[in-house]
Structure formats: C-alpha cells, structure tokens
Amino acid sequence: MTMGCLIRKDTMEFHLKAGDIIVDRNPFPTVDQTQVVTASEGRRVLRNTYSLLAITLLFSAAMAWLSFALGTRYISPIIFIVGAYGLMFLVHATARTGFGLVAILAFTGFMGYSLGPVLNMFMYARGGSSIVLLALSMTGVSFLGLSLVGIFTRRDLGFLGNFITVGVFVLLAGMIINLFVHASALSMVMCCGFILLSSAVILFRTQQIVRGGETNYILATIDLYVSIYNIFVSLLQILNNRD
C-alpha cells in the first residue's frame, strides 16, 4: 500500500512572504496605525481561514465516507498526483476570484475521496478502526496545540521559512529515492519528516496570518488543510507499522 503525502510546491516561497504586512491606506501611517490595521486584518483573516478550514474538513470527511461506502478501489498514483497538484494549482490561480471557493472545495473533496480506499483497508483490518481514531485524535490535538502557539507566541517564527524550504527539498529527494529502493525504514523516516514539516508550516502560516503577512484566507486555508492531511496520513502509516 502506498500512502500519499503532499508537499506544497509553494512552501519553498513561504519565507519570502514573511515580511509582508498590511498597512493603513494612509501613505504616511504612524507605527501605531500600522499595528492596529495589521492586528485587525489578521484577526479577520484568521476567522475566515478557520471557518473555511472547518467547511473543507467536513466536506473532505463526507467525501471520504462516500468513497468508503462505495468501496472505491485504490486510485492510481499517477491519477492522484495529477488530480491533487492540478487542483492545487487551480486553487492558487483562482484564490483571488469568486471561483476560488469552488476550486478549494474541489481539491479537498478529491483529497477526501482518495482516502476512502485507505480507510476501507483499515476499518476491515483487526484493530484498524482504533488506529484511524488514534491518528485522527493525535492530528486534532497537534493542530490545536500548534495553532495556539502560532497565535500567542511573541517569538518571531520567520526562521521556520528556511527550515521549510530545506525540508521540502530533503523530502522530495527521499520520495524519489524510495521509488526505487522501497525501504520501509525510509518510509517511516519520511513520515516523521512530513509530520515535522507540516507542523512547521502550521506554526509559520498561523503567525503570518495573525501578523498580517497573509491576507488571502483561501491560500491560508489550503496550506493548513494540506498540513493536516499530511500529518493524518503519516500518523496512519506510523501507527500501522509500530509493531
């Protein structure tokens, strides 16, 4: 069984956006004016992001259940890669238009549907349902904890941009190598790497939103969704192979 994990190709650009802030339309704002506008805008984007994230997660879960109920067979890796990255590109291309919401629902629905065969295998295996529930719980707790840190920490997490950039290249190299060697040990290392990288993205992007560095809630949502997806799928594989 091949577990698919996604790497956002634009995570390599995260650190370039860290310096962006929202400022007052006044061409000569004071420091206090800028801080007020940035904080207010950040809270608004954060609310919109979490609202859309909740909708996409529920829709993704519904599509996963539908796929499970229909007994969908495994999706070809080529179809998965083309579909996932094609829809992700569509989200980025339309994020600033009204079609962006349709695109992100299409992407998250596709991702949820692709989980159906995986859940089917686990739910009919001995102890599989417990693994799914444990992975789901651990993912939820991890996201909550990381989000709280990203929102309330006073430490500048901009340094994580470099970590994310390096991590993307390392994981890409590992994925390519594992296509040829099929080493279970390397797969476990890769899963741990995805969890660390996704956790860093959640911290980094959450603080970006709060501080006004990201003003598009659709782009923010897809980053958080992909991170949650990667953590969940990686935990499934780790827990399934712990014995």
pLDDT, tens digit (0-9, with 9 covering 90-100), for 111-161? 999 998 888 888 877 788 899 999 999 999 999 999 999 999 989 898 998
What DSSP character marks residue 28? S
Measured in whole angstroms, the distance separating CA 86 from the mean position of its chain's CA atoms is 16
pLDDT band of 175, cuts 50, 70, 90? confident
- Residue 22 pLDDT more than 60? no
How far apart are alpha carbons 137 and 62 in whole angstroms? 18
Catalogue the E-assigned strands of the chain.
none
pLDDT over 90 at 37, yes or no: no
> What is the average pLDDT value for the chain, to the nearest integer?
83
**DSSP state for residue 72 in the 8-state scheme:** P
CA distance 178 to 41: 43
Closest to 171 in 3D by CA, of 17, 16, 9: 9
Most confident range, picked from 10-19, 73-82, 152-161, 178-187: 152-161
How sure is the predictor about 180, in pLDDT bands with cuts at 50, 70 and 90? confident
Cβ atoms 48, 90 nearer than 8 A: no
pLDDT of residue 5: 58
Query: Stretch 200-216: mean pLDDT, rounded?
Result: 90
Domains of the chain, by residue range, sit at 21-240
Q: How far is CA 58 from CA 38, 48, 175, in A?
A: 30, 16, 29
Comparing C-alpha atoms, which of 45, 10, 57, 80 is closest to residue 151? 45
Question: CB–CB of 80/4 below 8 Å?
Answer: yes
* pLDDT value at residue 39: 67
219 or 40: which leads in pLDDT: 219
Give the mean model confidence (pLDDT) for residues 23-49: 57
> Letter for the amino acid at 108?
T
CA quadruple 172, 115, 230, 126: dihedral, nearest 10: -110
Distance between CA atoms of 180 and 177, rounded to whole angstroms?
Answer: 6
Identify which of 222, 216, 236 has the alpha carbon closest to the alpha carbon of residue 57.
222
